[in-house]
Amino acid sequence: MAKEKKGVRLEHVSKIYKDPKTKKEFYAVFDTSLNIEPGTFVTLLGPSGCGKTTTLRMIAGFESPDEGEIYLGGEPINALTPNKRDTAMVFQSYALLPHYNIFDNVAYGLRLRKYDRATIKQKVTDILALVGLEGMESRMTNQLSGGQQQRVALARALVLEPGVLLFDEPLSNLDAKLRVQMRTEIRRIQQEAGITAIYVTHDQSEAMAISDQIIIMEKGVVSQIGTPQEIYYHPKNEFVADFIGEANFLKGTLVEKNGSDDKATGVARIGEDKVEVQEVGHLNVGDPCELVLRPESAVLADEGQLPCKVVLSCFMGSYQNYHVMVGDTLVKITDFNPKNKKIYDVGDSAFVVFDPKNVHIL
């Protein structure tokens, strides 16, 4: 549907803001370089204040970068005003024009582009069908539920067939169930329209569910870029590991290393215990290291790698939730399908068991 899918490239882009209270300048976004391929769905993910929305607003043209250049489909667009950019944005507050009905809201951009009446009618009808709002053309915006308003906002952006579609936390005002439903919808529509999409959110499960690529930002800096799988299984640092899903961090030292490439295996010492580890090519013997252990990658058993003491044991239906102490470190474990397994109680001693393949070493 998009006239032309466009890629977005940021080259060393920075944005400086002034703190209104202290009058001190700081980097809201610092030296960010991105390359977003045409037709992909990319999410900017991070806690509030990490610069993700500022980045999005710079691409839309509402903010001007203080350093660097932004390219849309290969063209530098720094000097273009938002109305001259081939982008369309879906706002967090929907930002529907309250004095127009649904049809007029969706037709607004088309009318500015001077399409004839018949074409506008056709396009609006088509796009409303795509977002599931057939026959609602004459409703006013305040007669719609939150989800419907969001669909109008999406239709209004899509109908312009922009080179890139921008989303600024579009689902944060919806309830949880609707959020899940809408994100699937957004992904489906993006795929059908074959459009480049950049999506800002602080909800990691949302990002995982819809993205081709996730860009994690922290304090104005890009921490990691990768597919959801790469980011989940191979987080580059503690921040990413902790932000995406749940993670346990076990501090130790590498005491043995076999091989020298990325795939090198070895042994790490955690407290008094030694565990086998994989993919330690980036470390040398004697280096401190950190094991990232996802709660679902470990189980409890009578024998295993790390002795522990159970401090919480809670039946959750589909899994048993454990908190255990390994030395001084709290480790969370979710043991799925616990029906025919031994259940440990608070105070029990046990061992944490995991497959070295499922552990990521920082």
Partner 1 sequence: MAGKQGSKLDRQKFFADPIMVTTIVLLIAFLTLFILYPLAILLVDSFLTEKGFTLDVFRRIMAMSNFRRAITNTLKVGFLVGIASSLIGLLFAYVEVYVELKTKLLEGLFKVVSMLPVVSPPFVLSLSMIMLFGKSGIITRYLLHIYDNSVYGFWGIVIVQTLTFFPVCYMMMKGLLKNIDPSLEEAARDMGASRFKVFSSVTLPLILPGLGNAFLVTFIESIADFANPMIIGGSYDTLATTIYLQITGAYDKQGAAAMAVVLLCITLLMFIVQKYYLEAKSTATLSGKASRARMMITDRSVTVPLSILCTLMALFVVLMYICVPFGALFKTWGYDFHLTTKWFAQVFTRYKGFKAFRDSFLLSLIASPITALLSMIISYLVVKRNFKSKGFIEAVSMLAMAVPGTVLGIGYIRGFSGGLFHTGILQGLYGSAAILIIVFIVRSLPTGTRSGISALRQIDKSIEESAYDMGADSFKVFMTVTLPLIKDSFLSGLVTAFVRSITAISAIILLVTPQFLLITVQINEFAEKGAYGIACAFATILIVITYTSVLLMNLFIKYFGTSRVTE
Query: Binding of partner 1 at residue 79 (CB under 8 A)?
Result: yes
Shortest gap between Cβ of 59 and partner 1 (angstroms)?
11
CB 121, CB 172: distance < 8 Å: no
Of the residues 20, 22, 74, 98, which one makes contact with partner 1 according to CB under 8 A: 98
Nearer to partner 1, 86 or 206 (CB): 86
9 φ/ψ angles, rounded to the nearest 5 degrees: -130, 130
Of the residues 33, 35, 75, 112, which one makes contact with partner 1 according to CB under 8 A: 112
CA torsion angle for 110, 36, 233, 205 (degrees, to 10)? -20
151 φ/ψ angles, rounded to the nearest 5 degrees: -65, -40
Query: Binding of partner 1 at residue 82 (CB under 8 A)?
Result: yes
Shortest gap between Cβ of 226 and partner 1 (angstroms)?
29
Choose one: 3-11, 81-89, 229-237, 352-360; the region binding partner 1 (CB under 8 A): 81-89
The CA distance from 228 to 130, in Å, is 27
Site string for partner 1, 148-187 (x = CB under 8 A): -x---x--xx--x------------x--------------
The CA distance from 11 to 16, in Å, is 16
DSSP-H helix ranges across 15-116:
52-60, 102-112
Query: Binding of partner 1 at residue 3 (CB under 8 A)?
Result: no
Query: Binding of partner 1 at residue 64 (CB under 8 A)?
Result: yes
Query: Binding of partner 1 at residue 138 (CB under 8 A)?
Result: no
Which H/E stretch holds residue 329?
A: strand 329-336
Residue type, 359: V
Shortest gap between Cβ of 114 and partner 1 (angstroms)?
10
226 φ/ψ angles, rounded to the nearest 5 degrees: 180, 175
Query: Binding of partner 1 at residue 48 (CB under 8 A)?
Result: no
CB 67, CB 31: distance < 8 Å: yes
Nearer to partner 1, 140 or 353 (CB): 140
Choose one: 78-86, 207-215, 284-292, 324-332; the region binding partner 1 (CB under 8 A): 78-86
Query: Binding of partner 1 at residue 83 (CB under 8 A)?
Result: yes
Shortest gap between Cβ of 289 and partner 1 (angstroms)?
36
Nearer to partner 1, 142 or 340 (CB): 142
Using CA atoms, how far residue 355 sits from 21, 65, 335, in Å, is 51, 46, 14
Of the residues 73, 146, 271, 281, which one makes contact with partner 1 according to CB under 8 A: 146
For 297, other C-beta atoms within 10 Å of its C-beta total: 19
> 319-338 burial, b if ≥16 CB within 10 A, otherwise e?
bbebbbebeeeebbbbbeeb
Q: Residue count at the site for partner 1 (CB under 8 A)?
A: 48
Rule CB under 8 A: which residues touch partner 1? 14-16, 25, 27, 60-67, 78-84, 87-89, 91-99, 108-109, 112-113, 140-144, 146, 149, 153, 156-157, 160, 173
